[in-house]
Amino acid sequence: MMTSLYVKGLLAAATVASSMSFGALVAHANEKELTLCWATWDPANALVELSKDFEASSGIKMKFEFVPWPNFADRMLNELNSGGKLCDLMIGDSQWIGGAAENGWYVKLNDFFDEEGISMDAFVPATVTGYSEWPKNSPNYWSLPAFGDVVGWTYRKDWFERPEIQSAFKEKYGRDLTPPATFDELKQVAEFFQGREIDGKTVYGASIYTERGSEGITMGVMDVLYSYGFKYDNPEKPYDMEGFVNSDGAVKGLEFYKSLYDCCVAPGTSNTYMGEGIDAYKSGQVAMQMNFAFTWPGFEADPNVGGGKTGYLVNPAGPGGEQFAQLGGQGISVVANTDNMDGALAYIKWFAQKDVQDKWWSMGGFSCLRAVVEDPNFAKSQPYAQTFLDSMAIVKDFWAEPAYASLLQASQKRFHDYVVAGNGTAKEALDGLIADWTETFEDEGKL
């Protein structure tokens, strides 16, 4: 997931001058408190419980500052920019890395990782690139991958398996009702369920992202556009966007997203994101739901949709067979302005351990450690584990440029105006987006 605001800062860059054993780090920390900042959601609650093991082994008291997602970026980026002392550790969004590195908000961790034997090769490659690197695809690390996440789909497996529903679908479409593997199949299934009565209740085809205020509709639209051939820029010429952002495939992908919105969502869902999707799915309002993987443990535990009633899907393939998914998730960073550097580093060292990462997964955290996710037993450890693995293998991400918030604000407006408000054409929306992004990059001196 990303966030809604970027604030430029003037803090000086920080580095780790030295490193030491876990015990020595703890001793040097002098049992000070540590405050970890993150968003308010179920994984944060799991981390509080997990961190009790760190408190027991280190003697360092952990405090937590959690902020609801809609306010998380504004609150925390302002905190970082102002040089505040609230956070010692930050689990910030992937899109913050560029700004945090260039403005000195986070400690560069290369020396610490080298001296402590923490290898980035031990983590899922996509999470290293997405959460830790700046510049991208360079060995400069500003976080430890902490929470892997990706947009996928859930579907009402129990509805799909009902004989009367299967029969009705086959009669209408001439094929079996199966979990959709392509976007064309997904739309067909959504149309089939739209307005259908199940157990005396009218249900709808799908819940998709349409939220305007922060990042929601961008996360949803991009989850489709990638598989239709969209590229942020020319692979041979950075920031050259003409013919890539607005390619024929990208135009068709945006048209598809609008058609899915027009045909197959519940009434009144013009500003929906993660929370609204969870509610719609748990309440039995929709047959399918687009959402980040972090929601899946909660569905399994829910009395209405858990216990085998839910199936999990990798983001479908586009018309040409390409298949990608929008990356979410975050890394954990040491805030450069901390007064307890040794304690913060001790927490990073503790969190990177295999036994800690095993427990993190078992508690509902999505580990990025390869030794966890590549274990032969991992895929069978949860009903959604294999879908998570398959999804993380095909991720793409939004711009991680220091000016990402301006880029995001532009896409939010362009996509919402076209998909939800119905203004203009898909081609016009993407042409306008190129103009907006070009202006931002010119202001940044990139063009």
Domains of the chain: 33-149+329-396 (3.40.190.10), 151-326+400-444 (3.40.190.10)
**Is the pLDDT reported for residue 3 higher than 50?**
no
Q: How much is the average pLDDT of 335-350? A: 97
Instruction: Please choose, from the candidates 152, 219, 276, the residue with its C-alpha nearest in 3D space to the C-alpha of residue 3.
Output: 219
8 Å CB contact between 142 and 100: yes
- Residue 28: Cβ-neighbour burial (10 angstroms; 0-12, 13-18, 19+): middle
Enumerate helices (H) and strands (E) in the chain, giving the number of each: 19, 13
Q: pLDDT value at position 31?
A: 52
DSSP string spanning 365-381? ----BHHHHTSTTGGGT
Q: How confident is the model at residue 26 (pLDDT cuts 50, 70, 90)?
A: low
Q: pLDDT value at position 13?
A: 30
Token representation of residue 368:
């990025």
Token representation of residue 310:
């839910």
Q: How confident is the model at residue 21 (pLDDT cuts 50, 70, 90)?
A: low
Q: How much is the average pLDDT of 390-419? A: 95
**Is the pLDDT reported for residue 5 higher than 50?**
no
Q: How far apart are CA 209 and CA 257, in angstroms?
A: 10
**Is the pLDDT reported for residue 330 higher than 50?**
yes
**Is the pLDDT reported for residue 16 higher than 70?**
no
Q: pLDDT value at position 6?
A: 29
Phi, psi angles (nearest 5°) of residue 231: -135, 145
Q: How far apart are CA 345 and CA 38, in angstroms?
A: 17
Q: pLDDT value at position 4?
A: 35
Token representation of residue 270:
């013009």
- Average pLDDT over the chain reads 93
Q: pLDDT value at position 46?
A: 97
Return the minimum-mean-pLDDT range out of 5-19, 133-147, 180-194. Answer: 5-19
Longest dimension (CA), the chain: 71
**Is the pLDDT reported for residue 427 higher than 60?**
yes
Give the CA radius of gyration of the chain.
Answer: 22
**Is the pLDDT reported for residue 257 higher than 70?**
yes
Model pTM?
0.91
Q: Tell me the pLDDT tens digit for each residue of 63-104.
A: 999 999 888 988 999 999 999 999 999 999 998 999 999 999
- With a pLDDT cut of 90, the percent of the chain lying above it is 90
Judged by DSSP in three states, 78 sits in helix
**Is the pLDDT reported for residue 23 higher than 70?**
no
CA distance between the termini of the chain: 27
Q: How confident is the model at residue 22 (pLDDT cuts 50, 70, 90)?
A: low
**Is the pLDDT reported for residue 440 higher than 70?**
yes
